[in-house]
Amino acid sequence: MNNYGFVRVAAASPSLKVADCDYNTDEILKQINEAQSKGVSVIVFPELGITAYTCGDLFLQRLLLEEAEKSLQRICDATRDLPVTVIVGAPVEISGRLYNMAVVVAAGYIHGAVPKTFLPNYNEFYEKRWFSSSEELKAQSVSLCGQCVPLGINLIFKMSGFSFAIEICEDLWTPIPPSCAAALSGAELIFNLSASNETTGKHGYRKALVSQQSARCIAGYVYAAAGAGESTTDIIFAGSSLIAENGSLLAEAERFSFDSQLITADIDVERLRNDRLRNKSFSLSEYSVLDNIQFGEIDIDMNKEGKEFALNRYISPTPFVPTLDATLNERCDEIFSIQVGGLAKRMLHVNSKTAVIGVSGGLDSTLALLVLVKTFDKLNLSREGIYGITMPGFGTTDRTYTNAIKLMQSLGVTIKEISIKDAVVQHFKDIEHDAGVHDITYENSQARERTQILMDYANKVNGLVIGTGDLSELALGWCTYNGDHMSMYAVNTGVPKTLVRTLVSWVAETQMDRGSKIILEDVVDTPVSPELLPAAADGTIVQKTEDVVGPYILHDFFLYYVLRFGFSPAKIYYLAKHAFEGQYDNEVILKWLRTFFWRFFSQQFKRSCLPDGPKVGSVNLSPRGDWRMPSDAAVTLWMKQLDTLR
């Protein structure tokens, strides 16, 4: 079975009856069967779910305790041939004390029992009236259902492909929850059996708590909350079950339902592992948290292997771009401010009052110009100190040329037009190149001529050359070495192409007058092109970048998962098929994935000598920071795996 590191988990909130173990077990078994039919590997139930949490002094009744153990046996018997691990809550008596226990059942056996440590005994809670804390527990095993069961809070359960640990309700609400130590000891998933009642404002706090703990532990966190059927004598339980992964909420149950609730989510364990590998502070924390704490590992072997499942999780096709309108404005403003802040500091450092930028009428130079204008405004410098140079060549079209001129006029910068045609023709004569041969020499000569003009003009006006190339172009090496590859400060170096388009649209919508907005909207709609080959007879762009190297929306997707999580080609292909279903067929995705890896490896030499520029997100290619790769690394392993994919 290969689910590419994804583990399907479930949090259940069954409709219960207080102190009716048989009824409650029937409901639990129904939800177990539902979960296994959905391909769930582990399902967790609420705190004391076999009896219900609100039994009060009935917990001290011998009959209730005996029936609870019989219910555990029923669950063992019912799950003997099911490929699902079950975590249920039950009261368990040990040496004259009663413990609020989480019991792990799989393949017909009880594999471990985890007692609650922190017992709330304030306000509406009186757990110490009935239960003892794990702190009082000396035994390391307990007899349950005729089995000798490992016992303790320091248990990690290992299954095929992942490991998990358990804490119970109040444990999470403490300054240092037990799950912190468990995560540092290797648990990738944390399951919480909870009976957290509802009060005004508590649900928002609870959601934040679960999300934050999943982030702090770099783990999946599955929180099953008591709900329908619990006593409402003084308090109410809403079934507020939650599933989170490293700070992101993946699933949330309907609250205040009278029906049983079951939520599922696919947690990416491989992603969690890669994040832990990169975060050295995470592993270093074990020295302060794990002092004198040792965890035991329990292997859970299933009689029956689970099935491969269709991924039931939204995979954004544009991982670099904010997907929620509510956060789009804030995120774009933050990114734009980072770009402006980086350039402003550099200009202050070199005491420059002028800047030079090549303006082509394309997306990248447009964003860089907008950043430059905002920087000059921030520094109270005249926009006339911005020298926008348009350099028409053999492939320049009327559309991009006109947009470049109009945009510079609307922004009030100093406009310079310097044609490169005569200089490049002379250069062709000097190096004895046939101008009719439109090869790499033909293209790169133009790019390097433009860079020479920008550099020399910057010397003339004592200014900085502002680089315009973006993160996607750097990943693919889609730039001319020592041509547009080079500048004195590159403001777009941390911004991928899909985000460039979003940022330009955002600036047009939020910061421009109607005239400038119309220009920017046309820039966004213009095909991406370096315009180094002659235009068509009708003046339209012939050389379209995405026809040559592939759609940037695909390459940005590949780039994100290669750099952010270190995923293999096989997993990226798996995710891409899911994210782009109905948009690109598998052959197209695989074709451009091959292109991506080949170019990413072969073009590292360009990234090894990049100009300075600000990092704006979690993915960056600066050789001085986020990405240190030898320029002569072999791509063989990656291409071999790609050859096996269909």
- Nearest CA-CA partner of 602 in 549, 545, 527, 528: 549
Mean pLDDT of 527-532: 79
Q: How high is the pLDDT of residue 534?
A: 85
Angle, helices 497-511/363-378, rounded to nearest 10 degrees? 50
Among candidates 320, 637, 630, which has minimal Cα distance to 470?
A: 320
DSSP state of 351: T
Q: Which of 418, 398, 326, 341 is nearest to 372 (CA)?
A: 341
CA distance 403 to 541: 14
pLDDT for 531 equals: 74
The per-residue pLDDT for range 469-511, each reduced to its tens digit, is 999 999 999 999 999 999 999 999 999 999 999 999 999 999 9
Q: How far apart are CA 180 and CA 553, in angstroms?
A: 38
DSSP structure class, residue 308: P
What is the pLDDT averaged over residues 615-628?
95
Structure confidence by residue, pLDDT tens digits, 232-251: 999 999 999 999 999 999 99
Binding-site residues, in ranges, read: 122, 196, 202, 358-365, 444, 468, 473, 478-481, 606
- Specify whether the CB–CB gap between 200 and 21 falls below 8 A: no
| pLDDT tens digits, 421-464 | 999 999 999 999 999 999 999 999 999 999 999 999 999 999 99
**Catalytic residue positions, numbered:** 47, 116, 169
Q: Give the H/E segment covering residue 410.
A: helix 398-411
308 pLDDT above the threshold of 80: no
Here the tokens at position 127 are 């757990």
Whether the pLDDT of residue 294 is over 90: the answer is no
Identify the band that residue 324 occupies on the pLDDT scale cut at 50, 70 and 90: low
Single-letter residue type at 239: G
* Binding site feature residues for deamido-NAD(+): 444, 473, 478-481, 606
Q: Spell out the residues 6+ positions from residue 378 whose beta carbon is closer than 8 angstroms to its own.
A: 340, 344
pLDDT tens by residue, 192-233: 999 999 999 999 999 999 999 999 999 999 999 999 899 999
pLDDT bucket at 530, cuts 50 / 70 / 90: confident
**Which of 127, 78, 120 lies closest to 98, judged by CA?**
127
Residue 336 amino acid letter: F
Task: Check residue 323 and give its pLDDT.
Answer: 75
Higher pLDDT, 283 or 621: 621
- Is the model's pLDDT at 92 over the cut of 70? yes
Structure letter (DSSP) for residue 589: H
Per DSSP, 172 falls in state G
Residue 264 region, left (φ>0) first, then alpha (ψ -120 to 50), else beta?
A: beta
- Name the band, by pLDDT with cuts 50, 70 and 90, for residue 307: low
Q: What is the pLDDT of residue 288?
A: 67
What is the reported pLDDT for 1? Answer: 46
Question: What domains are there in the chain, each with its CATH number?
Answer: 6-299 (3.60.110.10), 325-643 (3.40.50.620)
Would you place residue 542 in the very low, low, confident or very high pLDDT band (cuts 50, 70, 90)? confident
Is residue 231 packed enough to be buried (19+ CB in 10 Å), middle (13-18) or exposed (0-12)? middle
Per the CB < 8 A criterion, the answer to whether 258 and 226 are in contact is: no
Q: For residues 476 and 599, is the Cβ–Cβ distance under 8 A?
A: yes
Strand order in the sheet with 248-252: 248-252, 242-245, 220-225, 189-194, 162-168, 155-159, 296-299
Instruction: Give the residue-averaged pLDDT of 609-632.
Output: 96
Average pLDDT, rounded, for the chain: 94
Q: Please give the share of the chain, as a percent, with pLDDT higher than 90.
A: 88
Average pLDDT over residues 576-596: 97
The model's confidence at residue 276, banded by pLDDT at 50, 70 and 90, is: very high
Pairing of strands 147-150, 141-144: antiparallel
Is residue 564 within 8 A of residue 272, CB to CB? The reply is no
Tens of pLDDT, residue by residue over 22-67, are 999 999 999 999 999 999 999 999 999 999 999 999 999 999 999 9
